[in-house]
Chains A and B, each alone.
Chain A
């Protein structure tokens, strides 16, 4: 059992989940708030306490722990991931022909939301008012497809996929049309939709689509289609403290109040004793509060500076690249204002 924390330490380092509310929510470790603590900013102290652990990583998802940082900064990284890391997405749709059932504007919106595999770091933002686009700021895609009857379909068939050809339009039908030197520069990049199996429209014989699209660089703040993540979130590490030994039937009931694996019952000299095994698995449910005889035996809390980040990419960039880019965006913001301060001083 973890030793109970000193009261001031608890206020500073834990968020307490009590029955009727959440306590100690805000960061309070600022200079002057606590006697006996030096809370002024200290980079060395920060570097000593700070650590990152990668828990799980594949091409699309990343889970890692960021420990020893304040919510203000961790939240900045999360917000930047959602809204300020740039990607390429369809912005201009030139519809030369659309005889399908789906309206032009709906189709254009659907096309915009398709994730486009292209490294945004290799492109520039398009200037405001620029309608044409050049090889450094635009990717051109074409969707040209016509539905026809399948001459080889059996007479009495009623299955559309047998009767018609091209009656389902998928994102894989969006073909990249290189502009200028793009064919050489991005020869290996394989530019196009990340997923080929996104259904865009359904056609019937005689209907056709003839569309040219311009993809530009943008950020999620402007439109969600530019957001590089499916989700980016964090949660604080839960902490469960048993205030006194829990034995027998109570221990079994206590175990069932939490997610599987959080609490185990161990045999301790013939007695069945509950033990907190893995707080990380807890979902912070309030089930324990329904048991009047148990609820005062535990303290539920969260570690204020332990962030469990989960980042899911849309597949355009690897999730670890997105996190790196997000941190760089925050650095760039700081540098922008530092530069501004310096130039103001010169005047």
Chain B
């Protein structure tokens, strides 16, 4: 049904103040909370081209966050967001690989002790 598609809330929305450039954007991340919000804020704040990055939970009964990015030198705010998401993905993948190898190693040493 087409109607269902339309009623479905977008996952990501962009809000800009009138007259503001594309370096100052509030992204609305629906169905997200501190879990992604704070982790993403951390990696984006690590970007030297970002002047400000922060997020807020609009209301406890609304499951969305307002994620604000302001950049230096007119850089579109979408760029640090994309870089942040990419960096966070790479970090997670590295953590996952490290964790799985260490768990495997631990299991092997435990088996050696058993033998």
Binding site for B on A (CB under 8 A): 27, 30-32, 39-41, 43, 46-47, 50-54, 57, 64, 66, 69-70, 72-73, 75-77, 79-80, 83-84, 320, 323-324, 327-328, 330-331, 333-338, 340-341, 344-345
Contact = CB atoms under 8 A, between A and B. Distances in A.
Interface residues of B, number: 44
Tell me which of B34, B39, B85, B98 has the highest count of chain A C-beta atoms within 10 A of its own C-beta: B39
| 7 tightest A-B CB contacts, nearest first | A72-B42, A41-B46, A54-B106, A31-B48, A76-B39, A340-B12, A327-B96
Contacts of B48: 31-32, 40
Interface of chain B, main secondary structure: helix
Interface of chain A, main secondary structure: helix
B12 A344 contact: yes
A328 B97 CA distance: 11
Given A32-B48, A39-B46, A75-B38, A341 B81 contact: yes
Contacts of A46: 91, 94
A52 B99 CA distance: 6
Contacts of B15: none
A344 B12 CA distance: 9
B86 interface: yes
Contact of B41 (A66, A72, A83, A335): A72
B102 A330 contact: no
Interface string B97-109: 0111011011100
Contact of A73 (B32, B47, B91): B91
Contacts of A52: 95, 98-99, 102
Contacts of B41: 72
Contacts of B87: 41, 43
B77 to A, nearest CB: 11
Given A41-B47, A341-B12, 11 more contacts: A30-B45, A43-B90, A50-B94, A52-B98, A75-B38, A79-B35, A80-B35, A324-B100, A331-B92, A333-B35, A334-B86
6 contacts: A40-B48, A43-B94, A54-B105, A73-B88, A324-B99, A328-B96
A101 B9 CA distance: 45
A50 B95 contact: yes
B20 to A, nearest CB: 18
Contacts of A76: 35-36, 38-39
Tell me which of B29, B36, B78 has the highest count of chain A C-beta atoms within 10 A of its own C-beta: B36
Contact of B102 (A64, A70, A327, A328): A64
Contacts of A337: 11-12, 29, 81, 85
Nearest to A58: B110
A338 B34 contact: no
A338 B86 contact: yes
A46 B98 CA distance: 12
B83 to A, nearest CB: 8
Contacts of A70: 42
Contacts of B29: 337
Contacts of B98: 50-52
A330 B88 contact: yes
A26 to B, nearest CB: 11
A343 to B, nearest CB: 9
